[in-house]
Structure 1
């Protein structure tokens, strides 16, 4: 693609990101001052690449921006960039450690980053080590975002997983509870003496893309559990709002 063609593609994506309704070919031509043939070619290219979809015979709607997650590309770098300040605010408000967690394709939990509170006694975690989803609050929440088929497949694998310390039926009950409540609280984490709460972060289409995890010493978390739950859920919702706003469309 020529430099001019690349520029037009970017301008088209930026313009469509600011449109709340599907756009027509005529609107695209007028808005970007493009020849009709060029505009049609660019719109078709966006559809072919999965950035847009046709809503009817003449209208197109942007469904994702470059850098947003797909099944083939987790795009975790974009999540980090967009949610770093929100995570820092959650840590400031709770006074506990904050983590941004995602579910890897093999259904292990990966912590993308961490923010530590400014207090002497605090909980730290080696985020280079992946966790099994059933072990941690973030994992329970992320499993709650799977399709029924994917969740069933995960539970089937779990039933034959060596070293698993939870029965599939028990895990399913915890996942259902997380779906009902909108969060999961773990009074005793993988690390002895630690506890935490996790809540889902959704993209603008309502798809779960990450979990916000607030964790700290178990006795301190348990002493203010309701407050920690409320703040974690509230900040996860704010993270979801950030993702929606960044895409130029309301959630």
Structure 2
């Protein structure tokens, strides 16, 4: 067990629970840690952006903790709010649908619903897939900041099939297309026989916190791509609105490519 990490968490928790800034001496007495230990821990937390020196004296937590807590809360809430809509999407499309979120270079499946098509894919709840190989991952990467995309590239683009994207420039074009059209598409990149379509879910702050995805046999999904795009976007919009988003934009041009007319959803 890492005692240094535990000390840091104890100090941070004490500051979070305190209604006012705390001095190092007070923290030392409260937590029964040496003053030098508390000072070193506070400097580390300041360097990491979790704590700052308060005006006057003492130390207080920054909003970074609240921001991270908000992301976790949103992730838990979005699963509850998307549970019904992705099941409705599975029923109407006949394909397997899922809700996924981005963690590092992978997507994590938060929920899934099976369709009625005889050929089905069953993503395991809690299971993972390379973000660059699946539509939900590419949808989320298309709205991610540069640091997250760099993290994916640093890990290396996974080659699960011969169709997997392994060239960063090709991935960049795919992500740009997903941003322009509102949907990301994968075809045989994770499993050679499967294709997928996905769109992001936005929270009240406009952050892409998850993606609604649909997957099925390549020939079925690509033959009905326009229909499935509209259905996936409508589902993502519905969940986003339920999460408090007021600025979800949908691509309205039927072919899904080229210059896009945007519709603001209020």
Q: Tell whether the structures are fold-level matches, with TM greater than 0.5.
A: yes
Q: 1:101 aligns to what?
A: 100
Q: Give the structure 1 partner of residue 70 of structure 2.
A: 69
What residue number does 2:179 align with?
179
Does residue 1:229 correspond to 2:253, yes or no?
Answer: no
User: How much does 1:232 deviate?
Assistant: 0.7
Q: d(CA) in 1 for partners of 2:193 and 2:159?
A: 25
Shift of 1:107: 2.6
2:128 matches 1:130:
yes
Q: Which whole-Å deviations, capped at 9, do the CAs of 1:114-167 have from their partners, x for residues lacking one?
A: 1012344333233443111111111111111211343245334437x8988511
Residues 96 and 116, structure 1, Cα contact 8 Å, conserved in 2: yes
Aligned residue for 1:155, secondary structure, equals helix
Pairs within 5 Å for 1:74-89: 75-89=74-88
Bigger Rg over Cα: 2
Q: For residues 167-191 of structure 1, what are the alpha-carbon distances to aligned partners after superposition, in whole Å with 9 as ceiling and x for unaligned?
A: 1111111111111111111232412
The higher-RCO structure (CA 8 Å, 6+ apart) is: 1
2:146 aligned residue: 148
Question: Deviation string for 1:23-44 (max 9, x for gaps)?
Answer: xxxxxxxxxxxxxxxxxxxxxx
Matched residue count: 186
On the 8 A contact 1:183/1:198 being kept in 2, the answer is yes
> Per-residue deviation at 1:48?
6.5
| Unpaired segments ≥5 residues, structure 1 | 1-46, 52-62
CA change 1:174–1:242 in 2 (3 A) is: same
Residue 49 of structure 1: how far off its partner (Å) = 8.0
State the SS of the aligned residue for 1:69: helix
Q: Is the 8 A contact 1:158 1:168 kept in 2?
A: no
The correspondence of residues 107-122 of structure 1 with structure 2, limited to 5 A, is: 107-122=105-120
Distance 1:190 1:77, change over 3 A: same
CA contact 1:97–1:114 (8 Å) conserved in 2: yes
Question: How many angstroms does 1:76 deviate by?
Answer: 2.8
- Post-superposition offset of 1:194: 1.1
CA 1:180–1:190: 2 relative to 1, 3 Å: same
Moved over 2 A (4+): 47-51, 67-70, 73-77, 118-129, 148-159, 161-165
CA contact (8 A) 1:198 1:211 kept: yes
Cα pair distance change 1:69/1:107, threshold 3 Å: farther
The CA deviation string for residues 210-242 of structure 1, in whole angstroms up to 9 with x for no partner, is 000001111211221110111111111111011
In the alignment, structure 2 segments of 5+ residues that lack a partner are 1-59, 246-264
Aligned position for 1:209: 209
Q: Distance in 2 between matches of 1:147 and 1:165?
A: 20
Cα distance change, pair 187–153 in 1 and its aligned pair in 2 (3 A): closer
